[in-house]
Structure 1
Amino acid sequence: MQVQDLAIPENLRQQYSKSGIRDLYPPQTACVEKGLLDGKNLLVAIPTASGKTLIAEMAMHRTIAAGGKCLYIVPLKALASEKFEEFSGKGVRVGISTGDLDRQDENLGKNDIIVATSEKVDSLLRNAARWLQEITLLVVDEVHLIDSPDRGPTLEMVIAKMRYRNPAIQIIGLSATIGNPNMLAGWLDAEMVTSSWRPVDLRQGVFYNNRIRFGEGKARDIKQVSKNYDDLNLCLDTIAEGGQCLVFVSSRRNAEAFAKRAASAIKSEDPTLAECAEHLLSGTPTEMVKTLALCVAKGAAFHHAGLGRNERLVVEDAFRKGLIKCISSTPTLAAGLNLPARRVIIRDYLRFSAGEGMQPIPVSEYRQMAGRAGRPHLDPYGEAVLIAKDAEQVPELFACYIDAAAEDVTSRLAEPTALYTHVLSLVASGFATNRSELSAFMNRSYYVHEHRQGRLMHRAVDAALEFLISAEMILEIGEHLGATELGMLVSRMYIDPRSASMIVTTLRERDTYTDIGLLQLICATPDMPTLYAKNSDLPALSRMIEQKGCDLWLPFPQDEEEAENFYRAVKTAMLLSDWTDELAEEKICERYAVGPGDVYGMVENINWLLHATSRLARMVAPAFYPQIDDYEICMKNGIRRELLPLIRIRGIGRVRARRLFNNGITSPDEIIHHKKEDLVKILGAAITEQILSQLMPKRREKAKEAENGDNNGKSDQSTLLRFG
Structure 2
Amino acid sequence: MEVAEVLPEFADAFAFEEFNRMQREALPALLESDENVVASAPTASGKTALAELAICKTLAEDGTALFIAPMRALTNEKEDDWDRFEELGYSVYVVTGERDLNPRRARRADILVMTPEKLDSATRKHDSRRYDFVTDVDVCVIDEVHLLDADRRGSVLEVTISRLRRLCEPRIVALSATMPNVEDVAAWLDAPEDATFEFGAEYRPVELNAGVKTYTHGENSFADKYRRLYRALDLAEPHLREDGQSLVFVSSRQDTVRAAEKARDEIAERDIPMGVRGDFDYHNNDLKERIENETLYKSVLDGVAFHHAGLSKNDRDLVEEWFKEGRIELLFSTSTLAWGVNLPARCVVIRDTKLHDPLEGEIDMSPLDVLQMLGRAGRPGYDDVGYGWVVCDTAEADKYRRLLDDGKEIESRLAETLGTHLNAEIAMGTITDLEDVMDWLETTFYYVRGQSSPEAYDFPNLRRRVRDCLEDLVDRGFVAMDETDLSIEATPRGVLASKYYLRLETAVRFATLCDRVADGEAVATDDLLEVVATAAEFDSVSARQAERDAIDAVLVGQETGDLEPGQRKVLAILRGAASGSVPTELRSDAWVIRRNATRLLSALGAFLDRLAGPHAANLAGRVEARVENGVAEDAVGLTAIDGIGPGRASKLSKEGLSTPGDVVEAGIAGLVEAGLSEGVAERVYEGAQSLPAAEIEWGSFPETIETGENDVSEVTVRNVGEPARAGIRVTVNVRESDALSSQSGTDVPDDGVEMTSTSTYLRGEETVPVGVFGADADELEFRVSVAFPEQPLVPLEERRTVEVR
TM-score range, shorter-chain basis? 0.7 to 0.9
| Letter of the structure 1 residue corresponding to residue 140 of structure 2 | L
**Counterpart for residue 481 of structure 2:** 476
C-alpha change, 1:465 and 1:393, in structure 2 (3 Å) is closer
Give the letter for the 2:515 counterpart.
R
Going from structure 1 to structure 2, the CA distance change for 1:499 and 1:570 (only over 3 Å counts) comes to same
- Residues 479-513 of structure 1: CA distance to partner in whole angstroms, max 9, x if unpaired? 21111233222212222222111111123225222
- Are positions 1:438 and 2:437 aligned together? yes
Answer whether contact 2:667 2:685 (CA < 8 A) is retained: no
Task: Quote the residue 1:501 is aligned against.
Answer: 508
Q: Within 1, Cα distance between the matches of 2:363 and 2:553?
A: 36
Judged with a 3 Å threshold, the aligned counterparts in structure 2 of structure 1 residues 228 and 370 are, in CA distance, closer, same or farther, namely closer
Q: CA deviation at 1:364?
A: 4.0
Q: Which residue of 2 aligns with 1:463?
A: 468
Matches within 5 A, 1:646-665: 646-665=638-657
Cα deviations across residues 367-419 of structure 1 (Å, max 9, x unaligned)?
21111224556x445623326799x99997995355x121110111122xx01
Aligned in 2, Cα 1:571/1:134: closer, same or farther, shift over 3 Å? Answer: same
Within-5 A mapping of 1:304-703: 308=310, 310-311=311-312, 314-315=315-316, 317-322=318-323, 324-349=328-353, 364-376=368-380, 379-381=382-384, 383-386=386-389, 399-400=401-402, 402=404, 404-415=405-416, 418-452=417-451, 454-477=459-482, 478-510=485-517, 511-528=521-538, 531-538=541-548, 541=551, 547-549=557-559, 556=562, 566-583=564-581, 588=583, 590-592=584-586, 594-595=587-588, 598-622=589-613, 623-668=615-660, 670-671=662-663, 673=666, 676=669, 679=672, 682-684=675-677, 686-688=679-681, 690-691=683-684
- Structure 2 match to 1:719: none
Query: Alignment partner of 2:79: what SS?
Result: helix
Q: CA deviation at 1:680?
A: 6.2
Compared with structure 1, are the counterparts of its residues 546 and 450 closer, same or farther at alpha carbon in structure 2 (3 Å cutoff)?
A: same
Query: For residues 658 and 644 of structure 2, what CA distance do their matches in structure 1 show?
Result: 12
Tell me which residue corresponds to 1:204: 209
After superposition, residues 246-261 of structure 1 pair within 5 angstroms as 246-250=247-251, 255-261=256-262
Answer with 142-151 or 121-130: which moved more: 121-130
- Tell me: CA distance 1:276–1:507, structure 2 relative to 1, closer, same or farther (3 Å): farther
CA shift for structure 1 position 664: 3.0
Alpha-carbon distance in 2 for matches of 1:694, 1:389 = 56
2: CA distance, partners of 1:675 / 1:448: 63
1:263 aligns with 2:264: yes
C-alpha distance in 1 between matches for 2:400 and 2:508: 49
Shift of 1:5: 3.4
Structure with greater strand share of residues? 2
The one-letter code sitting in structure 2 at the alignment partner of 1:436 is E
Please tell me whether the aligned partners of residues 301 and 315 of structure 1 are also in contact (alpha carbons under 8 angstroms).
no
Contact kept in structure 2, 1:102 and 1:492, CA below 8 Å: no
Residue in structure 2 matched with residue 274 of structure 1 by the alignment: 288
**Is residue 45–residue 175 contact of structure 1 (8 Å, CA) maintained in 2?**
yes
The counterpart of 2:196, out of the listed 192, 199, 207, is: 192
Query: After the TM superposition, which residues 137-286 of structure 1 pair with which residues of structure 2 at under 5 Å, given as runs?
Result: 137-167=139-169, 169-190=170-191, 191-195=195-199, 196-197=201-202, 200-206=205-211, 229-235=230-236, 237-239=238-240, 241-250=242-251, 255-264=256-265, 265=267, 274-275=288-289, 279-280=292-293
Question: 2:714 maps to what in 1?
Answer: none
CA distance in 2 between counterparts of 1:362 and 1:227 reads 19
Give secondary structure in 2 for the equivalent of 1:683: coil
Aligned partner of residue 248 in structure 2, secondary structure: strand
Counterpart residue type for residue 450 of structure 1: R
Offset at residue 250 of structure 1 (A): 4.9
Q: Distance in 2 between matches of 1:464 and 1:439?
A: 12
Cα RMSD of the aligned pairs, angstroms, is 4.0
Amino acid at match of 2:526: I
The count of residues paired between Structure 1 and Structure 2 equals 643
Aligned counterparts of 1:529 and 1:297: Cα–Cα separation in 2: 44
In the alignment, what sits opposite 2:701? none
- 3-state DSSP of counterpart to 2:509: helix
Is the 1:523–1:530 Cα contact (8 Å) retained in structure 2? no
SS in 2 for 1:682: coil
1:49 counterpart residue number: 44
Asked if 1:67 is matched to 2:62, the reply is: yes
Three-state SS of the structure 1 residue aligned to 2:134 is helix
| Distance in 2 between residues matched to 1:361 and 1:244, nearest whole Å | 24
Farther-moved stretch of structure 1 (322-331 vs 654-663): 322-331
> Which piece of structure 1 moves more, 404-413 or 259-268?
259-268
Contact kept, 8 Å, 1:187 with 1:446, in 2: the verdict is yes
As a proportion of its length, which structure holds more helix?
A: 1
Residue of structure 2 in register with 1:3 after alignment: 3
Measured after TM superposition, the shift of residue 46 of structure 1 is 0.8
Letter matched to residue 2 of structure 2:
Q
Paired amino acid for 1:627: L
SS of the residue corresponding to residue 489 of structure 2 reads strand
Which structure would you say has the larger RCO, counting Cα contacts within 8 Å and 6 or more residues apart?
1
Structure 1 residue 333: Cα displacement: 2.9
Aligned counterparts of 2:481 and 2:261: Cα–Cα separation in 1: 61
Choose 229-238 or 625-634, whichever is displaced more: 229-238
Runs of 5+ in structure 2 lacking a partner? Answer: 215-226, 268-273, 696-718, 721-763, 765-805
2:555 and 2:523 mapped to 1: Cα distance? 17
Whole-angstrom CA distance in 1 between matches of 2:355 and 2:585: 26
CA distance in 2, matches of 1:669, 1:388: 61
Question: How far apart are the structure 1 equivalents of 2:432 and 2:3?
Answer: 49
Following the alignment from structure 1 to structure 2, what is the Cα–Cα distance between the partners of residues 508 and 101? 34
Mark the structure with the bigger radius of gyration.
2
Report deviation, 1:57.
1.2
Give how far 1:682 is off: 2.1
Deviation readout 1:30-69 (Å, 9 max, x if unpaired)? 1113344421211111122222111111111211221322
Greater displacement, 433-442 / 46-55: 46-55
Which residue of structure 2 aligns with residue 130 of structure 1?
A: 132
* Distance in 2, Cα, partners of 1:362 & 1:649: 43
Match of 1:77 in 2: 72
Distance 1:376 1:460, change over 3 A: same
Equivalent residue number for residue 96 of structure 1: 94
Distance 1:409 1:579 in 2: 40
The range that moved more, 421-430 or 190-199, is 190-199
Q: Does 1:26 align with 2:21?
A: yes
User: Matched residues in 1 for 2:298 and 2:571: separation?
Assistant: 32
Query: Which amino acid is the alignment partner of residue 513 of structure 1?
Result: V
Counterpart contact for 1:39–1:170, Cα < 8 Å = yes
1:423/1:461 contact within 8 Å kept: no
SS state at 2:410 partner: coil
